[in-house]
A and B are shown apart, each in its own frame.
Chain A
Amino acid sequence: MFEFATLASPYSMPAALHGDATLTDSSAQSRARALNQFLAGVELKAFKIAQAALRHEDDALDAVQDAMLQLARAYADRPSQEWKPLFYRILENRIRDMQRRRTVRGRVLAWLPQRGEDDDEDYDPIAQAPSPEPQPVKRLELGEAMAALEKALGELPRRQQQAFLLRTLEGMDVAETARAMGCSEGSVKTHYFRALQALRAQLGEFYL
């Protein structure tokens, strides 16, 4: 009889059975714990990925925060195996929105007269000159290695950068990366391969 009662429509059941409420609470708590664990596990890497794309710490933090909120609000009920690709898909959309907004803002600011005076400051002939250091760079301290890598990553096209970071930093496989990027697995492999080639060319085969 009890089994039938649990299978009956919720509208035909008493408003709140104490046992059911406890079960629901514990289920919600365990889901919240799982979500907390998931977000804690991805937040630092997600921040690095957002920072590589946006090259701005506060913007990267905002993007990660928005992605966390959206995942928690809209997709917390989904199976936890789906969270990672979903989270990175949301993050990527947020990053793209921010980059578009920046482009529009840049176009608007370009109309202002004082903007033209600053253009000369953007071009630094010393920074643009070819490096006298031998290529490939063989030995770098860790800090320098990080700086060189971040610079090289920043120069990659966005899709290559995304594929490379999701695979290398986040440790996602090709299928997961494809779901996160919203493209085919073949495209992920192509983007990753091109990113790898560009980074090798930039940093040298014997990087580190």
Chain B
Amino acid sequence: MSPADEPVSAFERNVRTVLEQSVQHIDARTRSRLNQARQAALAAQAAPRRAWWRSLALMPAAGAAAAALLVAVTFMQHRGPGELPVLEGPHTAVAGEDYDLLADSEGLDLVENGDGQFYEWAAAQADNGESESQG
């Protein structure tokens, strides 16, 4: 039984009347915004949704991509230790020395104690080496 069919008191009838009046008095701006919201909802409902089984159509492409990635990773892992593509050339040695210096506590002591003589000697050795190689 809906409320309209049920026996209601005068109070309930009055409240219902006032509520219905208040709905009728909703302003045009709000009505317009509600209309826009409804149209947006209908557009969302009309938009085609991809069924889960349709995603199976992408399986071959996804499989090919996964296989290519697997081959690439396997190829990289089977290269010899001397063929590592990243740490090659003279910069590798320099970088390695830098790391050794940083890790070595004696090297840090040397820097902190400000042993200038050592740096002067090292610079002179480097200059001599360059002039000998050019000459």
Q: Which residues does A use to contact B, with CB under 8 Å?
A: 28, 32, 35-36, 39-40, 43-45, 47-48, 57, 61, 64-65, 68-69, 71-73, 76, 142, 145-146, 149-150, 165, 167-169, 171-173, 196, 199-200, 203, 205-208
Q: B21 at interface (Cβ–Cβ under 8 A)?
A: yes
B12 close to chain A: CB less than 8 A: yes
Q: Chain B interface secondary structure, helix, strand, loop or mixed?
A: helix
B binding-site residues for A, Cβ under 8 Å: 1-4, 10-12, 14-23, 25-26, 30-31, 33-35, 37-38, 40-42, 44-46
Contacts of A69 in B (CB 8 A): 37, 40-41, 44
| Residue ID in chain B nearest A177 by CB atoms | B3
Q: A64-B34, A68-B38, A173-B3 known; 5 other A-B pairs, CB under 8 Å? A: A36-B42, A72-B45, A145-B18, A196-B11, A208-B18
- In the bound assembly, the distance between CA atoms of A73 and B43 in angstroms comes to 9
Is B45 within 8 A of A168, CB to CB?
no
Contact flag A47-B30 (CB < 8 Å), given A167-B3, A196-B12: yes
Query: Which chain B residues lie closer than 8 Å to A47 at the CB level?
Result: 26, 30, 34
- With the chains together, A199 CA to B45 CA distance in Å? 40
Residue of B nearest to A39 (CB): B38
- Establish whether residues A35 and B26, one from each chain, have CB atoms under 8 Å apart when the complex forms: no
